[in-house]
Structure 1
């Protein structure tokens, strides 16, 4: 089978291609004034927000980790801490998230990060054949099977999404 050529070379697409993971690319015109990058992606791409996931970086006393939740939900910090086996986490400073991941906020992909961090995917992802996450820059998402995301990021799966926003 011939490998599909991908037009946007980000660390995420390079990592997925190298791992032999099938994925689709979805670009859209990013609006810098968008209130929510994740909801902007869902709306611009005409996707169910329950299938579009945002990548959030948390901190536990200097140790960073990644939580991946649907864009229309928030990250339950207590559930995230439990999933990581720690007492407490808080949202990481944007500068720390960008430095660790190698991506810009609003375009942080869970795949191909500069430093591999402990990662937890919200269990709701397993309800879908395909989910969408940032492809490594604003205005660019990738679609892939949740199992492939878990495998390539070595993610744990747990109910870490809080109530609808």
Structure 2
């Protein structure tokens, strides 16, 4: 009888294999994480800031991604929602529309805000100490640890047993 269907109790339909249920749960979590990661890639650039010329906009994005937000300090102005970051993004786009090269825009902002505005400051004589200090400190620490270990080994080997300790040792070993 082709038109008939068998009524299956609700409890029977719900008895799904636990492995299948676990796989579905893992799939849903993976899907949610994937979708959430796409949200984190969103930029703070607003629609009214975007230049109609795609080449200029690409240059502006490249420059903006290398400039530090002076409010947030660990974000680029391209990622920051701070009002100052918005002003700097607009300034970058205005300078590009005026015909400045990428280097001229960066130089203008460095002259105005200092090298701190660059997310990746260049290695110069003035920044050499900042770039090299962590390695110098690690090297000094490693040398200090090595010297300390070496000194302790020498001190441990150099201490002779006292007469009392020798007597107790001989008594423990049972030798005369």
Query: Could you state the TM-score of these two structures normalised by the residue count of structure 2?
Result: 0.21
Structure with more strand by fraction: 1
Higher RCO, 1 vs 2 (CA within 8 Å, ≥6 residues apart): 1
Q: Which has the larger radius of gyration?
A: 2
TM-score (norm 1): 0.22
